[in-house]
Amino acid sequence: MNILITNIELGLQSGTVVYVFELAIGLKKKGYNVEVYTRVIGDTGRELIKNGINVTENLRHLKNIPDIIHAHHNLVAIRALDRFKKTPVIFFVHDRRYFFDIPPKSPRILKYIAVDYNCLDRLLIDAKIPEKYTGVIYNWVNTNRFNLRKEFASRPSTALVFSNYAKENNHYQVIASACKQFGLTLDVIGSGTGNYIKHPEEILLKYDLVFAKAKAAMEALSTGAAVVLCDFHGLGEMVAPANLNYLRKFNFGMKTLTRSFDAELIIEEINKFNGDNNRLNAEWIREQASFSNVLEQIIQLYAQTVEDYKQGIRGMPNTFDSWWSRARIKLRVLLPVRGIFKLIRISKKILSVIIHFGPSEKSL
């Protein structure tokens, strides 16, 4: 099977970038022909190329016609839709608010997959996509990368803020204050503080307690660290066996960060530290969220989608193909812009209308 993955950029390893990297490598090891289309190749894209995977910023440079398109991010997804008019698509949503996760609509998109139930609400409520076209496949932890510690502390002494969004002048300050009061040594990794770590698996075992959310939180949990959920969205709670299922349902992410930052609240969460719970959390996450399990779910979805498409099954009524041939000339002016934030400023209004509803005759 030839598989094309799309992602807006492949720079620093965070979010969908890590997802694409691990997915592409995993599929290649299973014997699938995998290629990746992106607007900015970046460091992670170059790493994929070193691993024998074709990564390109130009769809004409793909080596194979894909049998299935695993699509992230509307801008690159619609380019792939336009290029491969006989290929079915699965569109994955990783974020409830991110502009590029607004789902395009086309009969060739047979499934819309959310990584958690918060993202599912974006599909069902925000985009009004019928439930029959949607599904949930949770995020994973690559347990081949993240090892389980051998000893579990009864009381924390070292802590880590694991976030690309933490900065000296935001919620990191409050965490630092709480840790100082508790007597914890605190470090921080992430691009926001200029301390980006390409391989966090090499250092996580050093820390008893980690402040993180989403995939970073899952990675820390898999090593046996205690995790307090938090990020710029707000403060969550200490992960424990009693709340694991609920937190997993929402990807340990934004939906779980319900409180404002306060040093006393953080200290309350630190006081919940329990070595036995940390061990149980790690065992659970390594079994329930292992990369191998999720990869098999995705592969099965690919196969079913390809077969459904052959049988004439289609997705939502056409709001894409009928106008894209006219819209693409205007969009091509925008798409080569490499500055992502500049691109958002230029195109956000028009693309919001186009992606949600299709353009009117006046707009084009």
- The proportion of the chain whose per-residue pLDDT surpasses 90, expressed as a percent, equals 79
Q: What is the mean pLDDT of residues 91-96?
A: 96
Among 20-29, 190-199, 327-336, the least confident range: 327-336
CATH number of 2-140+291-357: 3.40.50
Q: Any idea which residue has 């409180």 for tokens?
A: 259
Residue-level pLDDT at 118: 96
DSSP at 131: G
Residue 90 has pLDDT above 50, yes or no: yes
Confidence of residue 342 (pLDDT cuts 50, 70, 90): low
CATH, domain 158-288, list 3.40.50.2020, 3.30.930.10, 3.40.50.2000, 3.40.50.620: 3.40.50.2000
Residue-level pLDDT at 46: 96
Q: Any idea which residue has 């699938």 for tokens?
A: 32
Residue 71 has pLDDT above 60, yes or no: yes
Residue-level pLDDT at 353: 44
Structure-token pair, residue 214: 């989403």
Confidence of residue 139 (pLDDT cuts 50, 70, 90): very high
H/E run at residue 55: strand 54-56
Give me the sheet containing 33-40, strands edge to edge.
Answer: 54-56, 33-40, 2-9, 68-72, 89-93, 109-114, 134-136
Q: What is the mean pLDDT of residues 128-145?
A: 96
The DSSP bridge partners found for residue 113 are 92, 135
| 3-class SS of residue 291 | helix
Cα(363)–Cα(174) distance, integer angstroms: 47
**Range(s) within the chain of domains with CATH label 3.40.50.2000:** 158-288
Structure-token pair, residue 25: 């490598």
Confidence of residue 358 (pLDDT cuts 50, 70, 90): very low
Structure-token pair, residue 213: 């959310």
Looking at per-residue pLDDT, the higher value among 356 and 211 belongs to 211
Pairing of strands 54-56, 109-114: unpaired
| 3-class SS of residue 41 | coil
Residue-level pLDDT at 330: 47
Cα(152)–Cα(355) distance, integer angstroms: 49
Nearest to 354 by CA among 333, 324, 334: 324
Distance of CA 8 to CAs 2, 39, 336, Å?
Answer: 20, 5, 12
Residue 343 has pLDDT above 80, yes or no: no
Residue-level pLDDT at 347: 54
Residue-level pLDDT at 339: 54
Cα(216)–Cα(267) distance, integer angstroms: 21
Q: What is the mean pLDDT of residues 116-127?
A: 96
Q: What is the mean pLDDT of residues 139-150?
A: 95
Confidence of residue 335 (pLDDT cuts 50, 70, 90): low
H/E run at residue 159: strand 158-162
CA 231 to mean position of chain CA atoms? 15
Q: What is the mean pLDDT of residues 286-294?
A: 96
Distance of CA 357 to CAs 97, 102, 280, 320, 322, Å?
Answer: 18, 11, 47, 9, 12
Residue-level pLDDT at 196: 85
Q: Confirm if 7 and 45 have CB atoms less than 8 A apart.
A: no
Residue-level pLDDT at 84: 97
